Chains A and B, each alone.
Chain A
Amino acid sequence: MTETTQMARLGAVRPTAEIVAARLKRRHNAERRFRAVGLGAVLLALGFLGILLFTIVGNGITAFVQTYVRIDVTFDSALLGIEGDTGPDALAAANYQAIIKQSLYRTFPEAKTRAEQRQLGAMVSSGADIDLRKMLTADPSLLGQTRSLWLLADDDIDMAVKGHIPRQQGIAGNRLSDNELRWLSELESRGAVETRFNTLLWSSGDSREPELAGLWGAVVGSIFSLVITLLVSFPLGVATSVYLEEFAPKNRWTDLIEVNINNLAAVPSVVFGLLGLAVFLNILGMPRSAPLVGGLVLALICLPTIIIAARAAMKAVPPSIREAAAGLGASKLQVVTDHVLPLSMPGILTGTILGMAHALGETAPLLMIGMVAFIVDIPATPLDPAAVLPVQVYLWADSPERAFVERTSAAIMVLLLFLALMNLSAILLRKKFERRW
């Protein structure tokens, strides 16, 4: 009762239209605020994506070039330890580190103490001798001569040149000593420092030395795994979908299969890794760290994706096509193989590519089956131990050297590039062959 009298009194003070207008203004403001909050949420999510990609690219783009230093190297047979014997075996076993060190000492004669000489020797990568060995084995007449050569720099020098390690002298705890920084500046003033396209990143396997570590082993491992995954999951997935969509009677058994498939799609991938460890490795005795086992586990993981996509594609084929084929005397299987499958193939392939893209980025189950080993060699068969791209990212991300941050980011860029290509081809496939009945 008091409320109504109050309202009546208020109404007497302010006309109704004014109240409504004020409330309308408030409501419209609330409307605008709500809309802005929604847009803000979208932009914030996109902003996170932007920051993520920006960080990765910003950290990784420099990994595609590598620093080289020019040094006059003398192929001194006494230092190489091959006096008199210039057969190919002797050349292959010669001590190339020694002539690199000697050449460095000659370039910077002020390095007198052992500590200084050690610092000087560490400026060139411990893998630089491989190039010299190749050069001398190809042309033994170089023996005794002096050549001005570009040698692969150590990762810390590389980081300093790229600006990831401070160049000012006298910073406590810097990875590079003042001596090394001074020598580096001197080399730069002579024009003896250069960055070149990083071919090692694309051609070599893993290494403890960041400047020598490459992605090729992981790329090959990923390709092997994905081929196995495709060979296993595509036929199985298509066969399952054909059975469930075209043949299976609607009963408890097929319901059970469907519930199972949907549940498998939601099982955490690390559990599939446990399955692989218990069944493939411990019961069936398959080799650890092999792309074969990795591919099998990944096949089980992406099987539900493929089945769900393939069934959707087959459902989209209109029944009139099946009926027309059956009317012409085709058997049930002929209807499927000659009409339903060809018509739904674009959709099935799109789903398969997306499943493969998912499998390419999967890491956790592969850790379970031992694909975290440090593997230098490029795998030759799917039975050899290998790493895959995401596992390589994980391994490098664990390494303390600053140069590995750059390599990790570069590996991520390569991984994302592959994923983008796969998704793009799936989108194009869908666009090109999508058919509406």
Chain B
Amino acid sequence: MQLLILTVVLLALTGIGFSTGRRRALAVVEGNPRLLHSLPNHHGYLVALWCGIPALLVVVGWLAFEPSLLHALVISALPPELAEMSDERLSLVYNEVRNVALNGQTAGSDAVAEAARHYLSLRQTLFGATAVVALVLAVAGLAWARGHIHRDLRARNRVERVVTVFLVMASTVAIFTTIGIVLSLLFESLRFFHFVPVSEFLFGTAWSPQMAIRSDQVGSSGAFGAVPLFAGTMLIAGIALVVAVPLGLLSAIYMSEYALPRFRSVVKPMLEILAGIPTVVYGFFAALTVAPFIRDLGTSLGLTVASESALAAGLVMGIMIIPFVSSLSDDVISAVPQSLREGAYGLGATKSETIKQVVIPAALPGIVGGVLLAASRAIGETMIVVMAAGLAANLTANPLEAVTTVTTQIVTLLVGDQEFDSPKTLAAFALGLALFTITLALNAVALHIVNKYREKYD
């Protein structure tokens, strides 16, 4: 709340900075903007930047360092009998202090109550100091920048330099995101591989992380062989592709070669709807409608079908990725030059013969690329398998049995109560690293294929 008020005050000061800067610039040249090097607005922006940026940096710095600073100060002020405890106990005490101070929990001892009071007053003092520094900086910056306005000041160039710096910083966010993903996955995975050797994770065939706390388990740390998960993922993604590739490809062919423009303009957006439906909806559909349907169908045929069969999840996932396959194939089929088709017609081929023997071979690299992209989408898909596939890590190729996937396990391991240092939660990061690597590799291969063969007919 206080922070909000401070921010609003700072923003208001920045606004005032803009208007005084503008007015000052006009006053310097007695109302004739043509004498200025830069537009009055640029002078205004420059004053506003001088006023706002240093003050906001101070506030951001406070936000970043407040927790650690408070922690150090409160711990150092603890009475000796508390301060001499081990680090773990100390962090428990510190948590209690924070809970007492912030959430109104009753203190367990006088020392904690005292520390909580100390915490609150420290926090208040620190915030007050920050607010004062920020406000002083803002006002000082405003006054300084306003005082330096003269007719030859290159205000526009300075403002533009600041904006350019902002643009460059914004464009690095994508890089930092990738670095963040890679580092967080790698770091936690390395910690996981302290508990479980890489070879066991990659080649082990038993997966039972749920029992990792029981001491009578293998190596007293559960079993973390991820092969059943990889196999389950491949099985479900495979079923999805078996559904999606023929349907998507055939509809793309029909839409781009046969359909009348009116049919196309109505049906194509409707197919795109399939891609826009949230995956949680597909998951619900799979669990509520498709899985029972397949189970009943299997039972009536005399087959035993698990109620969370791989087939149900794969089928629904296949429906979901139909539009990916069809729109990507549509693009590459449309990109095949018309002259190739006309050549085939000229030799007397029918339309379907042209498509099968000329257009599809010509478009094949693009189609393969599209299928690989769809496969990477299927492997990374989470909600359908979380809701419709099982948790049992069966190593099987039978689509009627329940299997589990990498993404399902990531969600299961991390949802719910967790201490962050157990192999169980760290395993999720190792699985995430595997998933990230596989999807990235699939995408790279797909893009490579598409790019390598794209210009063949241009």
Contacts and interface: CB of A to CB of B under 8 A. Distances in A.
Interface in A231-263: 235-236, 239-240, 242-244, 247-248, 256-257, 260-263
B180 A275 contact: yes
B226 interface: no
Contacts of B247: 41, 44-45
Interface stretch (A7-15, A157-165, A190-198, A265-273): A265-273
A343 interface: no
Most chain A CB within 10 A, of B280, B407, B436, is at B280
B285 A303 contact: no
A301 to B, nearest CB: 10
Contact of B276 (A243, A261, A357): A357
Given A274-B428, A285-B67, A331-B156, A416 B281 contact: yes
A55 B284 CA distance: 10
Interface string B256-296: 01110000000100110110111111111101110000000
Interface stretch (A32-40, A142-150, A172-180): A32-40
Query: Looking at chain A's contact residues, is the secondary structure mostly helix, strand, loop, or mixed?
Result: helix
A325 B383 CA distance: 50
Contacts of B429: 274, 278
B229 interface: no
Give the interface size bracket for B toward A: 35 or more
B379 interface: yes
B362 interface: no
B181 A393 contact: no
Contacts of A38: 250-251, 253-254, 257-258
Contact of A416 (B254, B277, B352, B353): B277
A394 B383 contact: yes
A34 to B, nearest CB: 4
A30 interface: yes
A368 B386 CA distance: 13
A282 B420 contact: yes
B177 A300 contact: yes
Contacts of A51: 289
A408 interface: yes
A361 B386 contact: no
B171 A412 contact: no
A303 B176 CA distance: 13
A243 B350 CA distance: 50
A339 interface: no
A388 to B, nearest CB: 10
Contacts of B439: 266-268
B274 A49 contact: yes
A162 B162 CA distance: 64
A268 B380 contact: yes
Contacts of A27: 350, 353
Interface centre among B174, B420, B436 (most CB of A within 10 A): B174
A393 to B, nearest CB: 5
Contacts of A360: 278
Interface string B425-438: 00011001001100
B435 A34 contact: no
B415 A372 contact: yes
Contact of A393 (B280, B326, B356): B280
B414 A277 contact: yes
B184 interface: yes
Interface string A293-327: 00000001001100100000000000000000000
B404 interface: no
Residue among A30, A40, A42, A267 having the largest count of chain B Cβ atoms under 10 Å: A42
B167 A243 contact: yes
Given A39-B254, A261-B174, A268 B435 contact: yes
A48 B383 CA distance: 19
B280 A390 contact: yes
Given A49-B274, A282-B420, A247 B178 contact: no
A263 B177 CA distance: 11
Contacts of B178: 260, 263-264
A274 B425 CA distance: 11
Given A45-B274, A264-B178, A364-B383, A279 B284 contact: no
A256 B175 contact: yes
Contacts of A243: 167-168, 170-171
Contact of A270 (B156, B280, B356, B432): B432
A242 B177 CA distance: 19
Nearest to B160: A333
13 contacts: A34-B352, A239-B166, A243-B168, A263-B178, A263-B440, A266-B376, A270-B407, A279-B180, A364-B411, A367-B386, A368-B415, A397-B387, A416-B281
Interface of B: 67, 156, 160, 163-164, 166-168, 170-175, 177-178, 180-181, 184-185, 187-188, 246-248, 250-251, 253-255, 257-259, 267, 270-271, 273-274, 276-285, 287-289, 319, 322, 326, 350-353, 355-356, 373, 376, 379-383, 386-387, 407, 410-411, 414-415, 420, 428-429, 432, 435-436, 439-440, 443, 447
For the complex of A and B, the 4 pairs showing the least CB-CB separation, nearest first, are: A268-B380, A361-B278, A38-B254, A239-B170
Interface of A: 27-28, 30-31, 34-35, 37-42, 44-46, 48-49, 51-52, 55-56, 59, 235-236, 239-240, 242-244, 247-248, 256-257, 260-264, 266-272, 274-275, 277-279, 282, 285, 300, 303-304, 307, 331-333, 357, 360-364, 367-368, 372, 390-391, 393-394, 397, 405, 408-409, 412, 415-416, 419, 423
Given A243-B170, A278-B185, A278-B429, 9 more contacts: A52-B319, A242-B167, A263-B443, A270-B407, A270-B435, A274-B181, A275-B181, A367-B414, A368-B410
